[in-house]
Amino acid sequence: MPKTFEEFNLNRQILNAVADAGFTVATPIQEKAIAPVLSGQDIFGIAETGTGKTAAYVLPILMQLKYAQGDAARALILAPTRELAMQIAEHVKIFSKYTDLRSVVIFGGIGPKTQIEQVKAGVDIIIATPGRFLDIYLAGHINTQYLKFLVLDEADKMMDMGFIGSIHRILEVVPRKRQNLLFSATMSDLVHKIAGDFLKNPTIIEVGQQATPAQTVTQGLYEVPNFKTKINLLQHLLKNEIDFKRLIIFCKTKTVADNIFSFIERRYGAAEVRVIHANKGQNTRINSINSFKEGNIRVLVATDVASRGIDVAEVSHVINFDVPIIIEDYVHRIGRTGRAYAKGDALTFCTEAEMYYVKKIEKLMRQSIPVLELPKEVFVEETPYEERQYIAREIDNQKRKDDPDFKGAFHEKKHAAAIAAAAAASAKKKMDKTPAWKKRKFKKT
């Protein structure tokens, strides 16, 4: 039987906030992590996305900080994206509502003036993206000497985004004597490296297998020949408003995301859909996520910038319109549904050129994604010439990654054409050197 939160050594203020938030029993990561964090141990947590790991470290940190003290922060939580930082900050506010603990969230994309003013007014917990934290620290506005807790959340994403240099810089300016907590949904060589630099004799907590989606998520794969057929399939699925009541559609690029948004907006109206990606302003992104959370819109279209920053209950479906090239992002995308024991569906649209990444995803997860039959109502479009060329080139590039000696169909065609052209040029050169009398054609008499 899962533990209730009453069984942990948490004070009444925190327990009341937990109850208000609707939490009753602890998830596996919370059950395994809360006690070791309370006892002061360094933690290396490997957990599926959507399993409640934010509460697993926030609750015991709040318990140990107890009340507001001084002006300088005593806990620093680092997150890779502004969306995730905002999500963590929201959890901190919810769980600390009956305490006087002060928290500030700082991230890029907007001017730092207000954030600096909030830090200077006095803070106990800072939630930050690494770049903006360093900017404000180096400008002299953050005092790190009283930090007791340092948390790296979504460490794998931080490494993917190239934050390893910033993390090492931050490690140089925080006190040596502190408690360190690192959480990651997937594992990589860089995560192992930063864990070695960051943690001292950590307690390793692993919930489920590495990079394994939550068991509450049902996965499916549609094999489609081209982009237009993907659109037709999406249109067919969206007709089912009863089952597909709240969904996130993930796209590989901003351009595709905008195209999908425009398509849905034309079909179903502007009140049904929002789009978020790196080119959207900060306020636009916040408002879009809030509208989705509040149930005001049915569809949220997003790039991977938001795959780990959306914590919304009752997302019925995640649709991968494109297969992610960074294969770990697949786990984080589909983790937006099936959260905290709820059930959800994750559907992936895959062309021949994307099957390479599907195989890598399956290897990472150590499980196959079931292939679904394309509904008969979906019209299968003919693949345009340019898209056929693109798919062929992609497949060649993928084969070349696995086998550096592979020349590829395009290379062979080009090579054959070059040989033919060289032969023609050589023949012409010889013809030019041939005496005029040899070039003459004589009629037979």
Please name the residue that has the structure tokens 């360094």.
42
Spatial strand order in the sheet of 43-47: 103-106, 125-128, 75-78, 149-152, 179-184, 43-47, 203-207
Q: For residues 33 and 151, is the Cβ–Cβ distance under 8 A? A: no
Q: What is the spatial order of strands in the sheet that 344-350 belongs to?
A: 273-276, 299-302, 247-250, 317-320, 344-350, 217-223, 371-372
Helix/strand/coil for 155: helix
**What pLDDT shows up at residue 201?**
85
Tokens for 290?
């809030």
The rounded distance, in Å, linking the Cα atoms of 223 and 147 is 51
Residue 351 has a pLDDT of: 96
Domains along the sequence of the chain with CATH: 5-207 (3.40.50.300), 217-383 (3.40.50.300)
Tokens of 347: 């559907």
Asked if residues 153 and 183 have their Cβ atoms less than 8 Å apart, the reply is: yes
Distance in angstroms (rounded) separating the CA atoms of residues 96 and 398: 49
What pLDDT is attached to residue 410? 53
Mean pLDDT per 10-residue interval, the chain, length 445 residues:
81 90 80 92 80 88 94 94 87 92 92 93 96 94 95 85 87 91 79 79 76 76 96 95 92 92 91 84 79 90 70 85 83 78 88 93 87 95 94 88 68 55 64 55 46
Taking the C-alpha atoms of residue 150 and residue 77, their distance in angstroms, rounded to an integer, is 6
Question: Which candidate, 349, 306, 362, 283, places its Cα nearest to that of 87?
Answer: 306
Name the CA dihedral angle for 195, 198, 202, 208, rounded to a multiple of 10 degrees. -30
Beta strand 247-250 with 344-350: parallel, antiparallel or unpaired?
A: unpaired
H-assigned helices in 345-435: 355-365, 385-402, 409-433
Vertex 312 angle, CA 87 and 292, to 5°:
100
In terms of C-beta density within 10 A (0-12 exposed, 13-18 middle, 19 or more buried), how is residue 67 classed? exposed
Give the type of residue at 120.
K
Residues in the chain: 445
DSSP-derived 3-state class of residue 411: helix
Per-residue pLDDT at 196? 80
Single-letter amino acid, residue 259: N
User: For 179, which DSSP code?
Assistant: E
